[in-house]
Chain A
Amino acid sequence: MVTEEKKQDILKRLRDAVVNYDEDAARQAAKEAVESGMDASDAIFSGLVSGMEEVGRLFEAQEYFVPELLMCADALYAGLDILKPHVKRLDLGVKGSVVIGTVEGDVHDIGKNIVKMMFDVAGFTVYDLGRDVPLDKFIEEQLRTDSDLVCLSAMMTTTMVGMKKVIDDLKARNPNVKIMIGGAPVSQDIAEKWGADGYAKDASNALKDAINMVSSLKKLKEEADAKRAAK
């Protein structure tokens, strides 16, 4: 069994690797986490995600800018790729599969990728359609995968209007599906008017929202752990 000291050391290194955008260090620490036999989801949430929370703080304080943010996300993924296969299914009451993509005519997908990261971390199955995705493809993919959530992203006002069509079609075929939209031209107002269930403004806000959502997942996990321990 891994000692508490060793565990804290690995968690700190995972965290620092993300904050210092050091992919190699993230990989190394993740490997050691797996070898030491510590809980992989612990390593993700208390290590990698905790680092990303610090990155979010640095970004808001304008210590970090977009390039650092993106490199930190890459470092997080470097560790996540190694840890993920070792995660025992988390039972948090959220069943997860999500279809995500940037709508037809739009190739701006930095925000979309960051939102995708959140779902990856949280253990969702992600069907990433990429960018410049034909509108019908979202509906096809949702039906094919029976996903609970569809996320649409657009950065331009000209491509944004495509999202309304997707929302209407999806809701007509499957009223239960949840839809999130995001991107610079989108507003809370538009999201409500078009019948979307959620909204994220841009890459930086997406990150904040992503961190908030992952943090609340983390809390859920801690509560579940505490309950299990109490039993």
Chain B
Amino acid sequence: MLKGLLNEAIMKELMTTGATVVGFADVGEVLGPEIAHLRKAISIGVNKNLNDDTVKLLLALQKKAARCLRRDGHRYLCIPPDSDRIRGTFISRLYPLFTHKIAATSAGLGWIGRNGLLISPEYGPRLSLATVLTDAPLSTGSPIKFSLCGECKLCVEYCPSSAITGKDWSRDAPYVELVRTDHCSSYKKNTRAVNRKPNCGVCINICPYGRKGSMSGVLSLTA
């Protein structure tokens, strides 16, 4: 298939069956040696509260993308959503080699916010992600390299466990600590013990990007 046509076929297939955003990225530079031959990534995002149905939808979308790639004779590796990784399969050992956020930012779907989550200009931090890696010659989007959070520090101020450091993300400095994960997880553990609510989510709900009836669409992205 001609370059570009495969992109279009996959895009169409996924967008008509439940995906909120789909992006294509070249991630060759950041891959470990075991998966270095799968240079291109298809990043799939679904705008929904994370629950079992969301995970099922993402897995189904992945399979659809995989089927398109297989039909064209390409290799692929599906990295399932983070919440579906507790499986004792052979391939599950390789999942930690790759994070969905790398694919999403490289595809230009968004940047990493102060809260450490992918922020899409349209949907904010409300996307659940899955990735398909492949060796197909897909044409790819241009990566977003800097945070577009601006002066906004709502998530820093409202985080109940003061876990968010307030630093800015940039693609060139991947090891800057944005979120003190030990603070965040110990807080979540405590509240779960007290009021049985499984998660916190303040940094997601507070984010003005993609919040209903607010700033969404105010800032347009120049790619």
Contacts and interface: CB of A to CB of B under 8 A. Distances in A.
Given A20-B70, A65-B37, A70 B94 contact: yes
B77 A71 contact: yes
Nearest to B67: A22
Contacts of B37: 65
Interface stretch (B85-93, B105-113, B163-171, B173-181): B85-93
B70 A67 contact: no
Interface in A64-119: 65-68, 70-71, 73-74, 77, 109-110, 113-114
B90 A73 contact: yes
A71 B37 CA distance: 15
Contacts of A77: 89-90
Interface string A49-74: 00000000000000001111011011
B90 A74 contact: yes
B34 interface: yes
B89 A67 contact: no
Contacts of B77: 67, 71
B38 interface: yes
Contact of B94 (A66, A109, A113): A66
Interface string B24-38: 000000000011011
Interface string B43-73: 0000000000000000000000000001000
B75 interface: yes
Interface centre among A20, A67, A74, A109 (most CB of B within 10 A): A67
B75 to A, nearest CB: 6
A70 B35 CA distance: 12
Contacts of A65: 34-35, 37
B94 to A, nearest CB: 6
Contacts of A113: 90, 93
A25 to B, nearest CB: 10
Interface string A166-200: 00000000000000000000000000000000000
Contacts of A74: 89-91
A147 B210 CA distance: 60
Contacts of B91: 67, 70-71, 74
A115 B70 CA distance: 28
B93 to A, nearest CB: 6
Given A70-B89, A73-B90, 5 more contacts: A65-B35, A66-B34, A74-B89, A74-B91, A114-B90
Interface of A: 20, 22, 65-68, 70-71, 73-74, 77, 109-110, 113-114
22 contacts: A20-B70, A66-B34, A66-B35, A67-B35, A67-B38, A67-B77, A67-B91, A68-B75, A70-B89, A70-B91, A70-B93, A70-B94, A71-B77, A71-B90, A73-B90, A74-B89, A74-B90, A77-B90, A109-B93, A113-B90, A113-B93, A114-B90
